[in-house]
Amino acid sequence: MNDFNIRNATIIDGSGGPAKQTDLGIKDCRIAEIGQVGSADSELDAAGNCLAPGLIDTHAHDDGAFLKHPDMTFKLSQGVTTVVNGNCGFSAIPLDNNGDVSKGSGGILAGIESGFTDLEGYFSAVLARKPAINNMMLVGHNTVRSLVMGSQRRAPSSKELSAMVDHVDRAMEQGACGFSTGLIYRPGRYSETEEIIELARVAQPYGGLYTTHMRNEGDRLLEAIDETLKIGKEANIHAHISHHKAAGKQNWGKVKSSLEKINAALATGQQISLDVYPYTAGSGRMIEYFNLDNINRQLAEVIRLASCPAFREYEGRMLKDIATEKGIDIVHLVHEILTSPKGDRTICIQFIIDETDIETNLRWQDMMVGSDGIPDLNGSPHPRLFGTFPRILGHYVRDKQLLSLTDAVRRMTSLAASTFGLNQRGLIKQGYWADLVLFNPDTVADAATYDEPKKLATGIEAVFVNGKLAYRNGEYTQSGSGQMLRYKRESYKAL
C-alpha cells in the first residue's frame, strides 16, 4: 500500500527527456512506483498539471533562516525542496562558542545564533526545529577567515593558513559540498589567489566544489573569470561561478565574452558550471559596495533599500526619491545611512544588470538557477527570495519561450543535483527520494515584485519533501520532513 498516489500528472522527470502522462506512487519517503500504481492511503488527481522533481536552489543564504523560519515558506512555495547554503563565502559554520556570526556575515545570515560550532552541530540544531525542506551546505571563506584572522588585511601566516585548512577539512568531512568564496566582501577581498587555491585544494579529495562570488562582476569581470579558472585548474577542482552577471551599464554585454572563456575552458576538460538569478537587480549588504571616502554617485542613483534597521521608513524606497524628498544630496544620504548605528546591516537592491544579459545567460546550455535571496523578512527583500523559480517557469519558459519546459526543469533538478552531490534526488525515478513539485504550466508565475516582495507564487499546486505532502492550497502543512544533506552521501541523522 502506497502512502500517496498522484494520478494523471504530466511527469517531467528532470532528465530533459519528453514529458509523459502517468501515475506515481510514494511510499516510505521514496518514489515507489511510476506507471502502474497500487492503492494508497491518499490520492490526488493531477490531470492538467505537471509533476517534476522538487526544484533545487543552487545559491541560497538560508543558513540562518533554517533556524529562524523552519517553515521556509519563501522557498517551499516556489516548489523548491532543497537549497544549497553557505554561499558567497558566508556560512553558518565554523563558529566559535561565543562567536557572533553576524559580524562576519554582515546581516546576510540573519537568524544565526550560537550553540554549535561545526557542521554536525548546525545540522542537529536545524533538525531539532523540523525544517520544511532539505539543506546542503558549503563552507565559506569569509566565515573561516574571520574566525581565524579577524579582519586582518594581509596574507595568512602559515599557522593561520593551516588553521583555515583544518576548518574547511572538518566541514568537508562532515558533509559540506564544497568551499565558497565572496571575494568582493570583507575579509575575502584581502586574500590573494594563492590563499584561495590552498583552501580550495582541501575540498578536492572529497570531490567537492569551489563556488565563487568572484572578485569582480563589472569592469574586471573577465579578469575575475581568469582568476576563477586558475583556481579551479591549480586546485584541480570543479569551479562553480555564482550569479553570473555583468554589473554596471558600461559592462552590459560582457557576459558573452565570459561565457566564451568558460566554453573554452570546458573544451579543455576543465570542470566548470554557473548559476544565474532571473532579475535585473542584485542585492547585498550596502556597506560592501561603497567607499565612504568616495561615494559612487552613479551606483547610489540605482539603489533601493531592502532592509534598513537604522531608518525603517526608508525600506522599499529608492535612495534618489528619499534624497529628493529630504532635499539632500544622495551622496550625503548614503553616508548618513551607512554611518548610523546598525547602518552596516543595511541590505540594498541595486539595478545594475541588463535584461539581455539574463537572456544570454539562460540560453547557455547548462545554466543553473540560484535565487541568491537574502531572507530578512522584516524589510522589503528583493523579490527573487519568493519568486525566482516560478519566474523561470512562467516568464522565461511559457511567456518568452527562451528555453523549453523540460530543459528548464532539468537545469533546476537533475543538473543541480548531480553538480552539488545530492544523492538520489533531482530525478523522478523509482527508488529516489520523493521530493516533488506539482504545478500548473498555464498559470505558474512569480507574484513577488519590488513593491510587494513577499507575495507567494501562483500555480504551485503541491510540494512533497521526502515523501511528505509539505505544501498544498498555498500553505505549509507543518510536515517538517526536510533533511540535512551530506555531499554524495546519506543524509545527516541527529544522534
Partner in contact with 57, chosen from Cu ion, Zn ion, none, beta carbon below 5 to 8 Å by kind: none
For position 213 contacting Zn ion by CB under 5 A, the verdict is yes
- Min. distance of Cβ 275 from Zn ion in angstroms? 10
For position 88 contacting Zn ion by CB under 5 A, the verdict is yes
Query: Interface with Zn ion by CB under 5 A: which range of 50-58, 169-177, 207-215, 349-357?
Result: 207-215
Site string for Cu ion, 75-94 (x = CB under 5 A): ------------xx------
Partner in contact with 479, chosen from Zn ion, Cu ion, none, beta carbon below 5 to 8 Å by kind: none
Judged by beta carbon, residue 66 or residue 471, the one nearer Cu ion is 66
- Min. distance of Cβ 213 from Zn ion in angstroms? 3
- Min. distance of Cβ 180 from Zn ion in angstroms? 9
Q: How far apart are CA 101 and CA 105, in angstroms?
A: 6
- Min. distance of Cβ 478 from Cu ion in angstroms? 29
Judged by beta carbon, residue 40 or residue 246, the one nearer Zn ion is 246
- CB-based closest residue to Cu ion: 88
- Min. distance of Cβ 88 from Zn ion in angstroms? 3
Q: Are strands 436-439 and 50-53 parallel, antiparallel or unpaired?
A: antiparallel
- Min. distance of Cβ 146 from Cu ion in angstroms? 17
Other CB atoms within a 10 A radius of the CB of residue 233 amount to 16
Q: From the CA atom positions of the chain, what is the Rg in Å?
A: 22
Cβ-Cβ contacts under 8 Å for 217 (sequence gap 6 or more):
184, 224, 243, 245, 246, 247
Judged by beta carbon, residue 61 or residue 167, the one nearer Cu ion is 61
Site for Cu ion in 335-374 (CB under 5 A): 372
Residue 133 contacts residue 76 (beta carbons within 8 Å): yes
- What residue type is 112 in one-letter code? I
Residues in the chain: 495
Residue 8 contacts residue 21 (beta carbons within 8 Å): yes
For position 108 contacting Zn ion by CB under 5 A, the verdict is no
For position 385 contacting Zn ion by CB under 5 A, the verdict is no
- Min. distance of Cβ 235 from Zn ion in angstroms? 20
Closest CA to 225 of 257, 203, 250: 257
Judged by beta carbon, residue 213 or residue 215, the one nearer Zn ion is 213
- What residue type is 450 in one-letter code? Y
- Min. distance of Cβ 361 from Zn ion in angstroms? 15
Query: Interface with Zn ion by CB under 5 A: which range of 80-88, 296-304, 467-475, 478-486?
Result: 80-88
Site for Cu ion in 213-272 (CB under 5 A): none
Judged by beta carbon, residue 44 or residue 88, the one nearer Zn ion is 88
Residue 148 contacts residue 163 (beta carbons within 8 Å): yes
Task: Give 285's strand partners.
Answer: 347
The packing angle between helices 221-234 and 193-203, to 10°, is: 50
Q: How far apart are CA 191 and CA 110, in angstroms?
A: 25
Q: Are strands 468-472 and 475-476 parallel, antiparallel or unpaired?
A: antiparallel
DSSP element (H, E) containing 205: none
Q: How far apart are CA 50 and CA 43, in angstroms?
A: 16
Q: For 229, what's the count of Cα atoms within 13 Å in the CB-facing half-sphere?
A: 19
For position 245 contacting Zn ion by CB under 5 A, the verdict is no
- Contact residues for Zn ion, defined by CB under 5 A: 88, 213
- Contact residues for Cu ion, defined by CB under 5 A: 87-88, 372
